[in-house]
Amino acid sequence: MPIRVCHLITDLETGGAERSLVNLVTGMDRSRFDSEVVSLLPPGPMAEPLSRAGIPVATLGMARGRPTAAALLALVRHLRRSRPAILQTWLYHADFLGTLGAALSRTERLIWNIRCTDITKQKTEQSIRWLVRMLAMLSARPDVVVVNSQAGRRDHETLGYHPRIWAEIPNGVDLARFSVRRTERAALRARLGLEADAFVVGLVGRDHPMKDVGTFLGAAALRSAENKNVRFVLCGEGFNANNLALTGEIARMNLQKHVVLLGRRDDVEDIYPAFDVATLCSIYGEGFPNVVCEAMACGVPCVVTGIGDSARIVDNTGVVVPLGDPQAIARAWKILATSGAEDFGDRARARIEANYSLEIMRARYTALYEQLVPNT
C-alpha cells in the first residue's frame, strides 16, 4: 500500500520552495507514494502543474499574514479526513501551523522543510522574527527537519533549532528540461530581441531586496562602459516596464540600450541557454538557489555571491564574489568572457549531473519516507 504524504506549504506562487515541491511530488513513484498538497493561502500559479500531473491540491483559504484559528481548524479537519502517514511542511508558517495540526489530528509523523538561511539578520517583519523564535522552541517536535543547504542548518542552529534529526537533501534539477543548447542560442536570442554576437549576462529571480538588483545594475554600468556589446537580462516577477522604480534606476545609469526586462516567464528553460553567464547577487535569505543549478544545467557558468550554499554549488565552475560589490561582479564577468565561458559551462553541467539532479533528490526523499514508515 502506498505511503500517503501530505505536503503543507504557505502558498503556491513561483518561488524556489514551490518549484522544488512540484518537482518532487510530480515525479515520485505513484505505486509507492500517494501525495497531496495543501496550501495555506489560495492557490497560485504552481498549483496548475500539480493538478495537471494528477496531484490533489487543497487550500485552507487563509489570508496572507499570521496563521489563524480558522486555518488551523480547516487543517485539522483535512488531516483527519486524509489520514496521511507523513505530514511534510514547507516554509515557516506551514511549519508552525502544521505542528499544531499534526498534534490535534494525531498525525504520527511530521517533517519540517527549511529552505533558507537566517532571514532575521535583515529587515524582517517582527511577526516573522516571533515565528522563527517559536519554531526554534518547537524544533524537537518533528521527527526530522530537512534542510536543502548546509548554510541553512548552521544558521538555524544558531537561532536555537535543536531537532531530533537533521537531514540534508539539496534541490534537484530536471536535466531533460534544463539542457545545453548552444546550437540554438542565436534563435533563442532572436526571440528575446538579443543580438547573436552580444555577450549576454542574465539574472533570473524577482524584484526583491534580497536579490540586490541595484548591485547587478551597478556592475552592468561598469561592464558596459568597457564593452558596448554586452547585454543584461532581468527575468522574473517585477522585472518589467511597469516597475517605475526599476526603469528609473536603469535610466539613471544610462543602461536603457543594454538592459532587457522579460518579466515573469514560464519558459525559463529557453531563457538560460541564451545567456553567456548567469548571476546571483543575493545578499541574504538564500539557502540553495534553484536558479544557479538550472543555469549550470544549461551549460551556463555562474557568478554568485557567497550566500547560502551558492559557493558550494558552483565550486570551480564559476566565480564567487563578495556581497554587494559591483566592481567584483563586473571583474568576474570579464574573467569569464575572456577565459572561455563555454569551458566553465561544460564543467558546470557535469557538476549538476553528478550531484544535483532531480533523480538524486527524489531518491533521498524516498529513502527518508521509507525509513519513517517501514514495511508498508
In the chain, the domains with their CATH numbers are 3-172+357-372 (3.40.50.2000), 182-355 (3.40.50.2000)
Using left for φ > 0, alpha for ψ between -120 and 50, and beta otherwise, residue 67 falls in beta
d(CA 327, CA 219): 6
Q: Can you give the length of the chain in residues?
A: 376
Query: Which amino acid, residue 49?
Result: P
E strands of the chain, at which residues? 3-9, 33-39, 57-59, 86-90, 109-114, 144-147, 166-168, 199-206, 230-237, 259-263, 277-280, 302-305, 319-321
> Do 306 and 328 meet the contact criterion of CB atoms below 8 Å apart?
no
> Do 213 and 203 meet the contact criterion of CB atoms below 8 Å apart?
yes
d(CA 84, CA 105): 10
Half-sphere exposure at residue 74, Cβ-oriented, CA atoms within 13 angstroms: 15
d(CA 162, CA 139): 6
SS3 at position 82: helix
> Do 286 and 117 meet the contact criterion of CB atoms below 8 Å apart?
yes
Torsion of CA 128, 132, 137, 139, to 10 degrees: 130
**pLDDT tens by residue, the chain, 376 residues:** 899 999 999 999 878 889 899 999 999 999 999 999 999 999 889 999 999 999 999 999 888 877 788 999 999 999 999 999 999 999 999 999 999 999 999 999 999 999 887 666 555 678 888 899 999 999 999 999 999 999 999 999 999 999 999 999 999 999 999 999 999 999 999 999 999 999 999 999 999 999 999 999 999 999 999 999 999 999 999 999 999 999 999 999 999 999 999 999 989 999 999 999 999 999 988 889 999 999 999 999 999 999 989 999 999 999 999 999 999 999 999 999 998 889 999 999 999 999 999 999 999 999 999 999 987 5
Contacts of 231 (CB under 8 A, 6+ apart): 194, 195, 198, 199, 200, 201, 258, 259, 260
d(CA 155, CA 81): 36
d(CA 150, CA 148): 7
The pTM for the full model equals 0.87
- Closest to 317 in 3D by CA, of 346, 282, 357: 346
